[in-house]
Amino acid sequence: MLAPAITNALTIDVEDYFQVSAFAPYIRRSDWDARECRVERNVERILALLDARGVKATFFTLGWVAERYPQLVRRIVEGGHELASHGYGHQRASDLDRAAFHDDVARAKAILEDLGGVAVRGYRAPSFSIGKRNLWAFDTLAETGHAYSSSIYPIRHDHYGMPDAPRFAHRVAGGLLEVPVSTVRLGGRNLPSSGGGYFRLLPYAASRWLIARVNREDREAAVFYFHPWEIDAGQPRVPGIDARTRFRHYVNIARMERKLESLLDDFRWGRMDTIFLDRDAAAARPA
């Protein structure tokens, strides 16, 4: 274990392969129910991986998935993991107006709490789609009873990003705590160091160095994320997609699970609420 003094946040965005935002131009939402769903078996593999190492994590779960696989929601909770919200239908927050966003997050929260039997305090926007143009979303999250968000990625990217946002946990509108996924500051730029396609693309040693730097130099907990479909080399290939989308989605999927095993062994991991909400509450108490 490289940095035993700091517990990092391990997060999983629970969605299926056909629901990723990059596939929206190729797969109609109305066709989702006709697709082969693989999310349940993939999450079960992840749960087994975590259970074998005694690791607890946060599962940002789609309401759409929860409705169809209620037992999966219960397995997450029974395993001691945090159940959090990824919204209902994986619509980017930046594509919704205030009323539609309110309906989406309120619906997902109600479904998850009903099935899981626990309070849902966290939310992550699909594709990190909260930015300068829709900061009002934080008010809505606070109004609907969420305590924290992990919806900003402080990098430059063609699909998302708010590079001038604070890199670490901070209070936003409505008193909500925003916990961005992790970056490393080098050469005047924020570099991604928190998972997803970057983790699959980079050699594991590079990702390990980036996360260790957040712990060592910034003395902060890193926030790492991945998706169940990223460990599924047997998922159906989507035809007709452009070369960039194909590369980003499928690169090194067959190696992902082995890299995750190394990551779990090299760092200490825990739930978002335990690391950030509980720490924040403790810091606010008078001495």
pLDDT in the model for residue 188: 85
Is position 1 within any domain? no
Is position 122 within any domain? yes
Q: HSE-up of 282 (CA within 13 Å, CB side)? A: 7
Q: C-alpha dihedral over 17, 19, 22, 26, to 10 degrees?
A: 100
Is position 2 within any domain? no
Give the pLDDT band of residue 258 (cuts 50, 70, 90): very high
pLDDT in the model for residue 13: 98
Is position 16 within any domain? yes
Is position 152 within any domain? yes
CATH number at residue 70: 3.20.20.370
pLDDT in the model for residue 282: 53
What does the alpha-carbon distance between residue 98 and residue 128 come to, in Å, rounded to a whole number? 17
| Predicted confidence (pLDDT) per residue in 77-119, tens digit | 999 999 999 999 999 999 999 999 999 999 999 999 999 999 9
What does the alpha-carbon distance between residue 231 and residue 254 come to, in Å, rounded to a whole number? 7
Q: Please check the confidence at residue 4 and state whether its pLDDT lies above 60.
A: no
Is position 277 within any domain? yes
Is position 59 within any domain? yes
pTM greater than 0.85: yes
Give the pLDDT band of residue 157 (cuts 50, 70, 90): low
| Predicted confidence (pLDDT) per residue in 15-65, tens digit | 999 999 999 999 999 999 999 999 999 999 999 999 999 999 999 999 999
Is position 140 within any domain? yes
pLDDT in the model for residue 284: 53
Q: Which domain holds residue 118?
A: 7-284
Name residues whose C-beta falls within 8 Å of residue 280's C-beta, 6 or more positions apart in sequence.
169, 177
Give the pLDDT band of residue 158 (cuts 50, 70, 90): low
The count of structural domains within the chain is 1
Encoding tokens for residue 83?
């159940």
